[in-house]
Amino acid sequence: MKNARSHLNELLVTLPSLLWLAIFFLIPTLIVLAIAFKPTDFYGGVGAGWTLETLRSLGNPNYPAIIWRTILLSIATTIICIVLAVPTGYYIARLGTRWRQIMLLLIIVPFWTSFLIRIYAWKVLLHPDGLIKKFLASLSIVDIHTSLLHNQWAVLLVMVYTFLPFAILPIYAAAEKFDYHLVEAARDLGARQWQGFYKVFLPGIRRGLLTAILVVFIPALGTYLIPDIMGGPDAEMIGNKIAQRVFVDRNLPHASALSALLTLAVFLPMVAVLFLQRKKDGSEPIIKESA
Amino acid sequence: MASTNYLEFENVSKHFGSIRAVDRVSLSIAKGEFFSLLGPSGCGKTTLLRILAGFENPNTGRVILNGRDITDLPPHQRRVNTIFQSYALFPHLTVRENIAFGLRIEKRLKKEIDTEVDRMLALVQMEDQAHKYPDILSGGQKQRVAIARALIKKPEVLLLDEPLAALDLKLRQRMLMELDLIHDEVGITFLYVTHDQGEAMSLSDHIAVMNLGIIEQIGTPAEIYEAPRSSFVAAFIGDTNFFEGKVTDIVGHEYSRLTIDGFPDVLCFNDKHISAGNPVFLSIRPEKFHISRDAPPNSNKRNIMRGLVEDVIYQGLLTKFWVRVQEYRLSIVQQHSRFLLDEKPIRWNEEVWISWHADDSFMLERYSESDEQLVSLPPENIGDVNGEAATPE
């Protein structure tokens, strides 16, 4: 049971971050939502009064396909990233301290180069005269006339490339804390190697997995630079549409409506995951005994 | 007891780099036995256990269980189960699910699993805790879940890797009794790894004392205590006083006379038939001495000498004396069979008689580098062999 004083203390401690979140996250989000109900004005600003016109215009027949593609690409990116990150995280966690630090450094090194430059580097690599294209063509794996650029696959490739480190790090962190005696215990009780992995290791790094899924899936949904640079007309994502509404059409209410849609799409899975996590952890104490 | 070779290690070695963790170990264990591997940390006992469980492959040798060579079988195909030192309970599963794990892997019928789990929960008295997660269990409860989880597989051998090391003293004593009861109840062969001689002595039918990857001695607890075959065993199991001497002549069939620097000649039981002229260690347990103010009656098999009491430590059940004889400092323990108020206890700085029977001392011929540390000379340090030295770490 908490007394009034500790309640007050709790409030004082959390107040700054609450204020910060309110001013820089909640209020702007609400403003964006509000703008969705405003008309446009002639000069590309926000007009006076309220209207549902914008929401109706979301019925644009192009949108369902774009939203579907956005979700599909994000899910594909997440799955590929997790599938690659689990063995990588496991492997790094099992290395000696020295090699572990080197591997972690190698994962972080790309961040020292601008994101934009790294995407353009991929463009160069996949370019019809680029290294990868020429190599694949010389092996007759791809036809010399097909383009590796400007399609969904190029977008997917660069999305996986971009988000993979964000998946590896939380999984590595969980794998590093995992007690590998548990896998031995499972083997001892008759589990094959894959059963030990599946029934004991994966549940053991559950939190790391959930974090990895969130930090890949959410930004993947909002990506617009990658499809903009790597994709073509058939690889547009919702982020591109929002950018287009803002910068080309100067239709802020429409962009806001799309953003609100995206926010909901991000918010719902996050709530679901948090709910799942809470349900699982309900019976666990806050301070875990380290075995 | 059934056949004595239910479980056999044949010439098993395991090297880690240049370290010989297990060095040509041969060992056979009878069915249903409570067998302990006892030794200081790093002596290879856990490696031997892991070889049996299938987590390590021996470099040479074979492991035979119930007539079958299991040396190259993966862990999941061996009918042995382990209780890990850290228990290794699955934190994402409840007590019930932890215990059921082994049977679920076998894809047994749900009803069958439920009955078995209930039986195990009853055996370890954890029925009320079945739906809790391991995190909130106490050390002793975790221990019981680990036991149930392993026993439900009906292993041919149950391996216990220092299972009590993580518990506090009181709980350790209780779990010790529970383990003994469980062993009697299930009748499975137990292979118990420990560095704690008390645990090994009180539970085991047989003990193998290990040091530096080799087995120093195998025997019943009494054999190992009363007739250690090497100076390592003598020092590691219980307390003892060591003296370095030389056999001068053989007396009759079973006795020999020794000279020890600064001592009158000493008569000692010579079951090992060490011939005259050989250097030996004489070992006398502290409780084998008799200490008295008056001269003990002379008898031809008693060794008698004078000493000076340097310290007296009254411990209720026992009294410990440190007695100086020439340059040696002897550790002597006397139990109080009676306590008469009018009897004047022996005090510090008193001249006393000490004596022991020739049958109560033993000679050890083994001499290796590791022994040298145990038999610490100069004599001031002889006392250090006692007490703490016997429980390393």
| Domain range list for chain B | 7-226, 231-377
Give first-to-last CA distance, chain A, whole Å: 30
Name, in order, each residue with C-beta under 8 angstroms of B94's C-beta and a sequence gap of 6 or more: B130, B131, B132, B133
**What sign does the CA torsion over B337, B343, B345, B346 have?**
negative
Which residues is B338 bridged to in the sheet? none
Token pair belonging to B46: 């856990």
Complex confidence, ipTM: 0.77
pLDDT at B392: 38
- Per-residue confidence band for A75, with pLDDT thresholds at 50, 70 and 90: very high
**CATH match for A62-250 among 1.10.3720.10, 2.40.50.100, 3.30.300.30, 3.30.1280.10:** 1.10.3720.10
Eight-state DSSP code of residue B297 = P
A125 pLDDT higher than 60: yes
What class, spelled out in words, does domain B231-377 have in CATH?
A: mainly beta
Question: Rounded distance, CA B54 to CA B325, Å?
Answer: 53
Q: Can you tell me whether residue B157 is helix, strand or coil?
A: strand
The DSSP element (H or E) to which A129 belongs, if any, is: none
Q: CB B86 to CB A186 under 8 A? A: no
Ranges in chain B, pLDDT < 70: 1-4, 337-343, 366-393
Select the residue of A182, A187, A200 nearest B75 (Cβ to Cβ).
A187
Of B49, B82, B149, which to mutate for an interface test with A (greatest number of A Cβ within 10 Å)? B82
Q: What is the share, in percent, of chain A residues with pLDDT greater than 70?
A: 95
Q: Find, in chain B, the residue whose alpha carbon is nearest to that of A203.
A: B92
Nearest chain B CA: its distance from A89 CA (Å):
20
Q: What is the mean pLDDT of residues A81-109?
A: 94
From chain B, the residues in CB contact with A288 under 8 A are: 135
What class, spelled out in words, does domain B7-226 have in CATH?
A: alpha beta
pLDDT at A289: 37
Nearest to B390 by CA among B230, B177, B238: B238
Q: CB B84 to CB A206 under 8 A? A: no
pTM of the model: 0.78
Token pair belonging to A165: 């480190």
* Strand boundaries in B220-327, DSSP class E: 241-251, 255-260, 266-269, 279-284, 290-292, 302-314, 318-325
pLDDT at B379: 37
A251 pLDDT higher than 70: yes
Per residue in A101-123, pLDDT (tens digit) is: 999 999 999 989 999 999 999 98
* Strand boundaries in chain B, DSSP class E: 7-16, 19-29, 34-38, 60-65, 68-69, 80-83, 157-161, 189-194, 206-211, 214-219, 241-251, 255-260, 266-269, 279-284, 290-292, 302-314, 318-325, 328-335, 351-357, 361-364
pLDDT at A59: 79
Q: CB B76 to CB A187 under 8 A? A: yes
**Contact present, A227 and A237 (Cβ < 8 Å):** yes
Q: What is the share, in percent, of chain A residues with pLDDT greater than 90?
A: 38
pLDDT at B370: 53
For chain B, give the mean pLDDT. Answer: 85
A204 pLDDT higher than 90: yes
Question: Rounded distance, CA A169 to CA A156, Å?
Answer: 20
Question: Rounded distance, CA A117 to CA B115, Å?
Answer: 64
Question: Rounded distance, CA A18 to CA A263, Å?
Answer: 20
Nearest chain B CA: its distance from A96 CA (Å):
17
Eight-state DSSP code of residue B318 = E
For chain A, give the mean pLDDT. Answer: 86
| Cross-sheet strand order for the sheet of B351-357 | B290-292, B351-357, B302-314, B318-325, B328-335
Question: Rounded distance, CA B212 to CA B190, Å?
Answer: 23
